[in-house]
Structure 1
Amino acid sequence: MKILVVYYSMYGHIHQMAQAVAEGAKMVEGAEVELRRVPETLPTEVLEKMGAIEPQKVFAHIPICSLEELASADAIIFGTPTRFGNMCGQMRQFFDSTGELWKDGTLVRKVGGVFTSASTQHGGLESTILSCHITLLHQGMIIVGLPYSFQGQMGVDKIRGGSPYGASTIAGADNSRIPDENELDGARFQGRHIATITSKLVQ
């Protein structure tokens, strides 16, 4: 059972969440989990002005995802930061490159999920995940979120990422807040949950 965690990360928040998703998926017997990035679309000079170059060096060793890898996976879990309540442009362009897979029905019946990050609690976490779900549905994928059996998304005692749509983290307006253990637990839960369902479907 092959599970891909495919993501874009500018400052490292989604990278940390992707690692946690992968950890959760690996808890399921028989799961082979790989991390992959989507291609960068911004020029280096723009990334430098945004202060993104140094953080990206941390995960520069993660290979870029190919369409062939999507085709061979049993489940694909996508991670994207929010951009004005929507997925980032890098993820949108990657999705737009999958037209041949759509035409051939390659991703039909594969399991899919999404996780995200935003600068504020109301910065589009849920709408970003839902915007990705639209593409996954057009590809015929089976969407799996983060059920309320993950109790860490409940409560109002502190800042919390996570919703029934998928795991998430809040980075802060200056991107200084890193995912806390509760948010990482949500990512692990979603990864394990998706891998468990995928295992049953594969069998």
Structure 2
Amino acid sequence: MIGVRDKALGLAFASACALGSAHAAEWRFRVLLDGVAIGEHRFSVTRAEGERQVVTEADFVVKFLGIPVYRYRHQASESWRGDCVTQLAAFTDDDGKVSRVRARAADDGRLDVSVNGASRSLPGCTMTFAYWNPALRQQTLLLNPQSGAPERVRVHRLGDAALDVRGEPVVAQHWRIEGPAAPLDVWYSAQGDWIGLDATVAGGRRLSYRLQ
């Protein structure tokens, strides 16, 4: 492919650093709706002694003729041991519809989940939609941190393609997550690092994440 780089952008760990026995990585994605920038979604993962701490922040504003017509905010903090979530606290304001999700690993090995006060239990080793974690591709059940709902999914690989990242075309692996909602197309570098996402949202519009 002429003009396509395959450098993996120095790993999709956009700013990775080693701090003694701890390792930190951050992804900052520019979010676009039908090609127009509407905000940013940031993910940071800190790993030490077999545990991960994950912090997520998103802030989108959709405008029409310069007037805000839709606002989305999401914040989440997750604790992981291996590939299993052990604790979650998430807040989402989806244009005025607010949800608060909490989860904690129970003594019996299950994951107790509370959504605006209503509770349910899930299998103990449950993952969220952690696109940064390669183990996501082997999952059949994922926890939605916005709704607190468990979602049955099928993850499979499609053909490789060129993806524009930081103004450069990059050879990208194309994976698709199919579930109860519209499919999610997730993009990874040749080394397997997360670099992008595409989804169809309400009204058939295209939501895209591109690594900054």
* Smaller-chain TM-score bracket: 0.3 to 0.5
Name the structure where helix makes up a greater proportion of residues: 1
Question: TM-score, normalised to structure 1's length?
Answer: 0.35
Q: Report 1 or 2 for greater relative contact order, CA contacts < 8 Å, sequence distance ≥ 6.
A: 1
> TM-score, normalization: structure 2?
0.34
**Bigger CA radius of gyration:** 2
